[in-house]
């Protein structure tokens, strides 16, 4: 086992209280910056959000949680 060994990405479980249907992509009105995350209707906010620059970022988000 080397110092620079590659780590395999872990698949995370969907956060408690959220489902796969609650994933939402939002875009900022001012800057156009896009984020993806789990949308809560009660808070009206994105939780566990990540910045999106390309389609690959969206695909990586879905892979991270084991979704297609």
Domain presence at residue 33: yes
- Is 18 in contact with 27 (CB distance < 8 Å)? no
Residue 3 located in a structural domain = no
Alpha carbon 7 to chain centroid distance? Answer: 20
Burial of 28 (0-12, 13-18, 19+ CB in 10 A): exposed
pLDDT tens digits along 2-41: 677 776 668 889 999 999 999 999 999 999 999 999 999 9
24 domain residue, yes or no: yes
Domain that holds residue 58: 20-64
| Domain presence at residue 13 | no
Q: How many domains does the chain have?
A: 1
pLDDT of residue 41: 95
The model carries a pTM of 0.79
Give the pLDDT band (50/70/90) at residue 55. very high
pLDDT in tens, 35-53: 999 999 999 999 999 999 9
Distance CA 13, CA 45 (A): 20
Q: Is residue 48 part of a domain?
A: yes
4 within domain boundaries? no
pLDDT of residue 10: 81
Tokens for 65, please give them: 């949680």
């Amino acid at each position: 086992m080397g110092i620079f060994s590659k780590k395999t990405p872990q698949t995370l479980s969907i956060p408690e209280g959220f489902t796969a249907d609650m994933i939402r992509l939002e875009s900022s009105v001012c800057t156009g910056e896009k984020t993806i995350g789990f949308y809560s209707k009660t808070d009206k906010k994105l939780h566990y959000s990540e910045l999106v620059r390309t389609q690959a970022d969206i695909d990586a988000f879905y892979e991270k949680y084991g979704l297609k």
